Amino acid sequence: MSDEELSKYIPLHGERLRVKKFIREKGTKRQDGKRSALLKVLQEKIETKRNKSSKGKTAVESTVDETDDEMRESNRRFGNQNASKDMRKVEIGWIHKTSKKSIQIRSRRGGGTRRIAMQKNATKKELLDEGKKLFFPNGKSPQGIETDFDFDLWDYQDRTMNEEVTIGQMYRETKMPILRFYLASIEKDCITVDEHSASSQDDNGSFYSAPSQDDTDRFTDPTQPATASKVDIVSEAMQLAGIETEEIGDITEERPLVTDEYTEDLNIQPPTGDRLNVPITESLDIPMPTADNTDNDSIMIQLHRGQIMKEMIDNFIPIQDPMSQIIKLQLIMPNGELEAAEDAGGVTRDILVEFWTSFYDECTLGSSHKVPCLRHDFGQREWLSVAKIIAFGWCSVKYFPIKLSPIFMQYCMYGRFSDNILDSFFKYIPENDAKTLRAALDDVSSVDEEELYDIFSQFDLKRVPRQTNMDRIIREMAHKELIQAAMFVSDCWYPVLRGLHLPVEKLLSLYKDLIPNPRRVLSLLKFPDDLCADGQTTSNHLKRFIRGLDDNLLTRFLRFCTGADLLTEGSITVSFVDVQGVQRQPVAHTCSSMLELPKKYDNYLQFRSEFSNVLKSDIWIMDII
DSSP string, 496-524: HHGGG---HHHHHHHHHHS---HHHHHHH
State the Cα–Cα distance between residues 475 and 483, nearest whole angstrom: 11
DSSP string, 368-432: SSEEE---TT--HHHHHHHHHHHHHHHHHH----TTB-HHHHHHHHHSS--S-HHHHHHHHS-HH
> By C-alpha distance, which of 329, 339, 338 is closest to 298?
329
Dihedrals phi, psi of 549, to nearest 5 degrees: -80, 140
Rounded to 10 deg, the angle between the 421-428 and 406-414 helix axes is: 130
CB-neighbour burial class of residue 208 (10 A; exposed 0-12, middle 13-18, buried 19+):
buried
404 residue type, one letter: L
Q: Are 465 and 436 in contact (CB under 8 A)?
A: no
* pLDDT reported for residue 359: 94
For 537, the 3-state DSSP assignment is helix
State the Cα–Cα distance between residues 543 and 560, nearest whole angstrom: 16
State the Cα–Cα distance between residues 454 and 461, nearest whole angstrom: 10
180 CB neighbour count, 10 Å cutoff: 22
What is the model's pTM? 0.54
DSSP, res 480: I
Q: Are 220 and 226 in contact (CB under 8 A)?
A: yes
Ramachandran sector of residue 86 (left: φ over 0; alpha: ψ -120 to 50; beta: rest): alpha
* pLDDT reported for residue 487: 92
Instruction: Provide CB contacts within 8 A for 554, sequence distance 6+.
Output: 516, 517, 518, 521, 546
State the Cα–Cα distance between residues 139 and 539, nearest whole angstrom: 79
State the Cα–Cα distance between residues 240 and 233, nearest whole angstrom: 11
Stretches where the chain sits below pLDDT 70 are 27-34, 52-84, 100, 189-297, 340-343, 581-582, 618-625
476 residue type, one letter: E
93 residue type, one letter: G
State the Cα–Cα distance between residues 1 and 367, nearest whole angstrom: 96
548 residue type, one letter: G
* Tens-place pLDDT, residues 448-500: 888 888 888 888 887 777 888 888 889 989 999 999 999 999 999 999 998 88
Ramachandran sector of residue 5 (left: φ over 0; alpha: ψ -120 to 50; beta: rest): alpha
* pLDDT reported for residue 31: 57
State the Cα–Cα distance between residues 417 and 483, nearest whole angstrom: 10
Q: Are 403 and 370 in contact (CB under 8 A)?
A: yes
State the Cα–Cα distance between residues 388 and 390, nearest whole angstrom: 5
DSSP string, 156-194: TTS-BBPSS--HHHHHHHH--SSEEEEEEEEETTSPPHH
DSSP, res 603: -
CB-neighbour burial class of residue 67 (10 A; exposed 0-12, middle 13-18, buried 19+):
exposed
State the Cα–Cα distance between residues 221 and 239, nearest whole angstrom: 26
Q: Are 389 and 312 in contact (CB under 8 A)?
A: yes
* Sign of the alpha-carbon dihedral angle for 381, 383, 389, 391: negative
Angle, vertex CA 244, rays to CA 241 and CA 248, nearest 5: 115
Rounded CA Rg of the chain: 39
> In whole angstroms, what separates CA 231 from the centre of its chain?
20
Angle, vertex CA 433, rays to CA 429 and CA 436, nearest 5: 140
State the Cα–Cα distance between residues 377 and 375, nearest whole angstrom: 5
State the Cα–Cα distance between residues 356 and 403, nearest whole angstrom: 9
* pLDDT reported for residue 205: 38
State the Cα–Cα distance between residues 501 and 482, nearest whole angstrom: 22
For 184, the 3-state DSSP assignment is strand
